Structure 1
Amino acid sequence: MLQYDVNLSILFTELPLLERPAAARDAGFDAIEFWWPFLEAVPSDSEVDRFVRAVRDAGVQLVGLNFFAGDMPGGDRGVLSWPGRTGEFLDSVNVAVGIGAQLGCRTFNALYGNRLGGVDPGEQDDVAVEALVLAAHAASRIDGTVLIEPLSGAPRYPVRTAQEALAVIDRLPGRTNLLLLADLYHLAVNDDDVDAVITAHTARIGHVQIADAPGRHQPGTGALPIHRHLEQLEASGYRGWVGLEYTPHGPSADSFAWLLAEQRAGLPAGDAR
């Protein structure tokens, strides 16, 4: 049975960030993930300590964490490919890997970054590859994996399909801890063939995220065949986490009715708490 986690950067946002892990636990989940949970690439030691303590005190597992992605509310979608910001990105990698070492998180997402006006796209791609080499090496110290994610809704973001993400990864042959983050919502909205992606590339998927479309709300509010896609993933051998990364239609705690209690807790079917 697939295991589900809650992305607490988009769910339970009605609560302060450090209260969200406990809220996820109260909703029946054993695992969580976050985008970059700090305002800057290098938070203070006390900020990191408070974050780690909040996750531990809630008794949940952190299974996914984004690296620093710039000013997300302002439209940034990563700095991996931005000339002049590699040092900032790699500082966040070291922070994230340190958090992962403490909390057992081994999966990290590196958002590629928007195209920049006046900068050669080829230069940006070379910057991204150089930074990915170093990020993947840093993650390997704790047997971690770095993910590349196609995104929708960001016109200047150049990685929109699974094949484009895999093309980035393929520029680093032999690096086994670089995988695809398959967000089924983003792929579908970008007109990627989700069924074909699952059929051809399940072995290269390191993490899955879901939301329905249109609207990016919980499954059942849109038209995507999410349950069929998840069944196909499981049948194809996917054994990783499925992150709930949707904007809840209504209160966060009321948006999980589509998911059985044992699925929230990652228990065998019929073993609800």
Structure 2
Amino acid sequence: MTYVTAAAAHSYTVNLSILFGELPLLERPAAAAAAGFTAAELWWPFGEEHDPAPADLDALRAAFTGAGVQLTGLNLLDDLVRGGRGTLSLPAESDRFLANVPVAAALAGSLGATALNALYGNRVAGTDPAVQDALALDNLAFAAQAAHGIGAVLLVEALNRDESPDYPLVSAAAAVEVVDRVNAATGLGNARLLCDLYHLAKNGEDLPAVIDTYADRIGHVQIADNPGRNEPGTGSLDTEDLLARLTAAGYTGRIGLEYRPANGASADAFGWLPRELRAAR
């Protein structure tokens, strides 16, 4: 199955933290290029290291530039490798987060990225949620300033409650509420919703209504089919309709491909998207 009509209106970026994950990190940009992509995004790629060695940063830059692939988006310190869902609202991890922001912003800026994604962080047992929320606002404002410095937006994402039961932002409305608080605090207006259609679908949200309601707040869109988090056409989501609705709502940003290949190698998971549409425009 291919999606041509609606897909042709958008530009795509492939998430190299989940696709091509069968390859070493430094080989993934070239693999994406071989599949026809010229843009890619990443979760935080250095595990728990909030300030990786300059040689490691240089090697990642070289992998992208050598492959002719632009880095379009980067997670701030997310701690996904150890089961975290972000660090910015966790009192014990706040210093690591703050130290990571300029490092991540410098890396993103050097490769042309226009988005930094700040996962909110799980609730901490025994800690007042209001304390976490106040810390989150301070740290998000700091990150928004850093994003502004490289001409980027700061993304706030809702996750699904089944896979992230301790994560407090499990609806588009909850994430947008945080976005609005950050913009009010900084006056920069560069905080935006990361509209991940897979997570929102898992939460049972009305995706057309989310698109129509929050189109002016959406800074980035990510897709995967539901259930399974595999490529479009493997589940129940009407990807063709959703892409068309994004166009009609005025969304002109990229579509992030953040899914796991249903079968075989990642290179075989793009049949739904004609090769001529994969290069960023």
The question of 1:93 aligning with 2:101 is answered: yes
Q: CA RMSD in A?
A: 1.0
Question: How far off is 1:82 after superposition?
Answer: 0.6
Letter in 2 for 1:223: S
Q: What are the within-5 Å matches in structure 2 for residues 41-80 of structure 1? A: 41-70=50-79, 72-80=80-88
**Deviations for 1:11-30, whole angstroms, at most 9, x for unmatched residues?**
00111000000000000001
Question: How far off is 1:74 after superposition?
Answer: 3.0
**Deviations for 1:12-54, whole angstroms, at most 9, x for unmatched residues?**
0111000000000000001000000102111111111111111
- Please name the residue that 1:254 is paired with: 268
SS in 2 for 1:185: helix
Question: How far off is 1:256 after superposition?
Answer: 0.3
Question: How far off is 1:101 after superposition?
Answer: 2.1
CA distance in 1, matches of 2:198, 2:239: 9
TM-score, normalised via structure 1 length: 0.95
Q: What are the within-5 Å matches in structure 2 for residues 1-273 of structure 1? A: 1-39=9-47, 40-70=49-79, 72-152=80-160, 153-172=163-182, 173=184, 174-250=187-263, 251-266=265-280
Question: How far off is 1:252 after superposition?
Answer: 0.4
Question: How far off is 1:144 after superposition?
Answer: 1.2
CA distance in 1, matches of 2:98, 2:206: 33
- Give the conservation status (yes or no) of the 8 Å contact 2:116–2:152: yes
Question: How far off is 1:96 after superposition?
Answer: 1.3
SS in 1 for 2:74: strand
Letter in 1 for 2:125: G
CA distance in 1, matches of 2:177, 2:280: 33
93-102 or 8-17: which moved more?
93-102
SS in 1 for 2:82: coil
SS in 2 for 1:170: helix
Higher relative contact order (Cα pairs below 8 Å, separated by 6+ residues): 2
**Deviations for 1:37-93, whole angstroms, at most 9, x for unmatched residues?**
1021111111111111110001011111100112x1332100110113222112221
Letter in 2 for 1:24: A
CA distance in 2, matches of 1:221, 1:146: 31
Letter in 2 for 1:55: F
171-180 or 26-35: which moved more?
171-180
- Give the conservation status (yes or no) of the 8 Å contact 2:222–2:257: yes
- Give the conservation status (yes or no) of the 8 Å contact 2:180–2:191: no
- Please name the residue that 2:5 is paired with: none
Unaligned runs of 5+ in 1: 268-273
SS in 2 for 1:84: helix
CA distance in 2, matches of 1:87, 1:105: 24
Please state which structure has a larger fraction of its residues in helix.
2
CA distance in 2, matches of 1:94, 1:262: 36
**Deviations for 1:188-209, whole angstroms, at most 9, x for unmatched residues?**
1011221111101111100000
Runs of 4 or more, structure 1, over 6 Å off, are none
SS in 1 for 2:91: coil
**Deviations for 1:215-273, whole angstroms, at most 9, x for unmatched residues?**
10000000011221111001111111101100111210000000011210135xxxxxx
CA distance in 2, matches of 1:150, 1:12: 24
CA distance in 2, matches of 1:142, 1:175: 13
SS in 2 for 1:73: helix
- Please name the residue that 1:270 is paired with: none
